[in-house]
Structure 1
């Protein structure tokens, strides 16, 4: 190891700290896999009572849904850094959640459109027409949850 490399020590966050960050920051990156190929996508989430939900707008050729089907354990990362005078003073935190991800049945109360609109920002459309997008809700069954901060 190069003796001139700079290091910043981190510490584990408590469960209440981790949950606080998941409730306060509503976006992160969901990592999925299909055999030896990975796919990561930035998403909004809703965290409530230990449950981590994602709302997706899916189209017929949607890669996210294909990867969700083949992923045994998804990883979701949320992080934030604070701007400082220099890299040595940088402060930040990260939360990592891992577990299987499944589509929530449309009969589930979380699928209520008013609840979804309260919990998530509007769906971002790119080149799709509004009527080509199907609203789907997924839940990550959090088997591992950890957080670190410095």
Structure 2
């Protein structure tokens, strides 16, 4: 390692992790099906206890098929502004919100909490919005500099 550049990282304070979870708008949600991994950029909402994700279902969503087979998902937020960087890694189980839980998020609140919904080649009226909660089992925050 004589000629390899490196930088030490340090654990983030809980308040710093909470602030990143609340203020950052998007990260990468990682899912798995047996031995196949699938990472997808998504908007999230953090209420202080759980993470929420809004995913689209067009009846053949790869994301949703992976959600159904994922035992434990992970979600990562990160930022790099040289020479400093940070990351927050959250792990937990995902569950679909239904009934009253789902209705607690009205359209205005969904728009405010999650930002614009990204549509690719589907017709908007053919996409059903699904909300998922990540029941957090672990959170780790790391950063460089100090």
Same fold per superposition (TM over 0.5): yes
Unaligned runs of 5+ in 2: none
Corresponding position of 1:119: 113
Separation in 1, partners of 2:131, 2:120: 19
Q: Secondary structure at the match of 1:68?
A: helix
Instruction: State the Cα distance separating 1:118 from its structure 2 match.
Output: 1.4
Corresponding position of 2:88: 95
Whether the 8 Å CA contact 1:110–1:116 is kept in 2: the answer is no
Corresponding position of 2:61: 62
Superposition TM-score, scaled by structure 2 size: 0.94
Stretches of 4+ moved more than 3 A in 1? none
Corresponding position of 2:2: 3
Separation in 2, partners of 1:81, 1:50: 26
- The CA RMSD measured in Å over matched residues stands at 1.1
Superposition TM-score, scaled by structure 1 size: 0.91
Unaligned runs of 5+ in 1: 85-89
